[in-house]
Amino acid sequence: MGHRPPAPAMRASGRESGMALVVALWGTAILAIVTMSVLDLTRANSRMEHSGSDAARLGDVADAAINLAILSMLGPSKTRPPVLGLPFTITFGGSQARMTIQDEAGKLDLNFVSVGILEQMLAASGLDAAQQEAVATRIVARRKGADAQPFQSVSALRDVPGITPAAYNWLSSTLTVYAQTPYLDPTYASTQVLQVFRTQDPSIEARLRDRTDAARGMPATTPLPGVVLGHAYTITAEVAGLRGARAFRRAVIRLSGQSSAPLLVYEWN
């Protein structure tokens, strides 16, 4: 007799058991993240109480706000913050932080993007037309060959001949090294990225309208995407104090979904 596949009821039971295991493991992972974040918040609050420097206090508020943002990303879906770079605020220690969270899946990966797409991005960045092809070729050449040096961070673009400060400032918010794919998911793309390709994809206009409506506090035509396990996110926090004092923090994290390492921190500065 040949091997019989499991009956449908048995297959369903197996799926349910598997899902239960995933939920249990992720529940443990969330608890670990919450524990780490609460400890960081406690330390930040303690430093603020003993700090005589306004700049140091604002920096602690910004760090705490990022921790609170991470916690909110793991909360109930209705209370999670936007992940498309739309601004929101978090209050900690009597100060208000202006926040953004951007899903890295909505950016183009510097280590995978093609020369042609790079040229479009460089054009959008304001780089001189005569330099666009040459700079795109230099970027791709760095990733290939016997002496290949994949980009470890987008900041390494500063070392590429031809990249101007203005071009870098624009590119740094639209490129990533954490998407790990040559493709762009327009579902998560920021307004800046969508505008580059709006003439090539008719569906992008609707997405841009949704982004504009969301920024104005209006309901979007289609639901905006939420937090996805496995994705990486850039979180920024800006806090203003007295006499023009300011603090800015930027963190790049990944919610891995793995109980052994639920939160990966790539950058925090």
Nearest alpha carbon to residue 123 among 110, 134, 112, 138: 134
Residue 90 lies in a domain: yes
How far is it, in rounded angstroms, from Cα 168 to Cα 145?
A: 25
| The predicted structure's pLDDT at residue 94 | 85
Question: Could you tell me if residue 26 is inside a domain?
Answer: yes
Q: Answer whether residue 218 is part of any domain.
A: no
The H or E element spanning position 236 is strand 232-240
173 found inside a domain: no
The reported pLDDT for the residue numbered 52 is 52
| 161 located within any domain | no
Phi, psi for 93 (deg, rounded to 5):
60, 30
Q: In this structure, is residue 207 part of a structural domain?
A: no
Cβ neighbors of 138 (< 8 A, separation 6 or more) are: 160, 161, 162
Tokens of 25: 């493991």
pTM: 0.79
d(Cα 53, Cα 24) in Å, to the nearest integer?
A: 44
**What is the residue range of 37's domain?**
8-105+225-268
Q: How many domains does the chain have?
A: 1
pLDDT at 223: 79
Q: What is the pLDDT along the chain (269 residues), one digit of tens a residue?
A: 444 333 323 333 333 333 343 344 445 555 565 556 555 656 655 555 545 567 888 988 899 899 889 988 988 888 899 999 989 999 988 889 999 999 999 999 999 999 999 999 999 999 998 899 999 999 999 988 777 889 999 999 999 999 999 999 999 999 999 999 988 888 999 888 999 988 888 889 988 888 888 878 887 777 788 999 999 999 999 999 888 889 999 999 999 878 778 889 999 99
Instruction: Please report whether residue 131 resides in a domain.
Output: no
In a domain, residue 234? The reply is yes
Question: Which pLDDT belongs to residue 191?
Answer: 87
pLDDT at 242: 81
